[in-house]
Amino acid sequence: MAEAVILTSGNGSNFQAICEAVSETEHKIAAMICNKKDAYSFVRAEKLGIPAYHVPYLGRDRKDAEKEIDELLTRLHPDLIVLAGFMKLLSPEMTKKYEGKIINIHPALLPKYPGTHGIEESFASSDKELGVTVHYVDAGMDTGKVIRQKSFVRTGLESLDEIETRIHACEHEIYPQVVIELLNCLEEEK
Ligand code: GAR
């Protein structure tokens, strides 16, 4: 069995999709960490029976928040750290410490449209092919090595809401797959 910890900031739909898929395997989601106190991901965690921790960033230095996250990770000792809608940029110290063990999902076909508005920027572009990217996390903003992408071709008639729905569907399909595949590999390496 290999274990993952998931970091979220809001809705948590990817967190839930991963938990549901992982529950069908020998692996385990050990905990969810969220920086927003009222995030819906806490409701999901409760329903899923996953231990959840609030680590605030608001009103304090990033290094203090990261120290708390790091302490939790040291205690939980997961094989994999999964960022799922975690809207904080991790420091170079954190990404170096956990190099090769942190992955993220981005709602665009990287290297296009990094940052926090991937869906809106993809939608506003003239690109016909849109999609999502799972990648390793390095010190940059969505710059780490790409693990997998999934795309679709739009007609150009879709609304932003429709595009968003299709992007989330791609995310919920590939992110759990990648997490399980990586947990399988990490388990074999043990
Ligand atoms: C997802 O679309 C994810 O790709 C995006 O936040 C959303 C979180 O949704 N992440 C980023 O934009 C990171 N740059 P969720 O909380 O329902 O999983």
If you average pLDDT over every residue of the chain, what do you get? 98
Separation of alpha carbons 28 and 39, rounded Å? 22
Q: How far is the CA of 34 from the centre of ligand 1 (A)?
A: 13
- pTM higher than the cut 0.95: yes
Q: Tell whether ligand 1 has an atom less than 6 A from the beta carbon of residue 180.
A: no
User: What crossing angle do the helices spanning 160-189 and 13-22 adopt, rounded to 10°?
Assistant: 40
Q: Whose CA is nearest to atom 1 of ligand 1?
A: 85
Mean pLDDT of the 118-123 span: 98
Q: pLDDT for 126-175, tens place per residue?
A: 999 999 999 999 999 999 999 999 999 999 999 999 999 999 999 999 99
Task: Confirm or reject: Cβ of 78 under 6 Å from ligand 1.
Answer: no
pLDDT class for 14, splitting at 50, 70, 90? Answer: very high
Percent of the chain with pLDDT over 70: 100
**Which residues are CB-neighbours of 56 under 8 A, at least 6 positions away?**
35, 37, 65
Dump pLDDT digits (tens) for 92-102: 999 999 999 99
Q: Is 8 in the pocket of ligand 1 (CB under 6 A)?
A: yes
**Strand order through the sheet with 129-136:** 52-54, 28-34, 3-8, 80-83, 102-106, 129-136, 146-153
Measure 182 CA to ligand 1 centroid, in angstroms: 20
Q: Are 32 and 43 in contact (CB under 8 A)?
A: no
Question: Which helix (H) or strand (E) element contains residue 117?
Answer: none
* Per-residue pLDDT tens digits for 19-72: 999 999 999 999 999 999 999 999 999 999 999 999 999 999 999 999 999 999
Q: pLDDT at position 190, please?
A: 85
Q: What is the structure's pLDDT at 80?
A: 98
Q: How far is CA 119 from CA 51, 116, 163, 168, in A?
A: 30, 9, 8, 10
- Which ligand 1 atom is at minimum distance from the Cα of 14? 18
For the segment 174-182, the average pLDDT, to the nearest whole number, is: 98
Question: 């995310």: which residue's tokens?
Answer: 171
Q: Whose CA is nearest to atom 2 of ligand 1?
A: 107
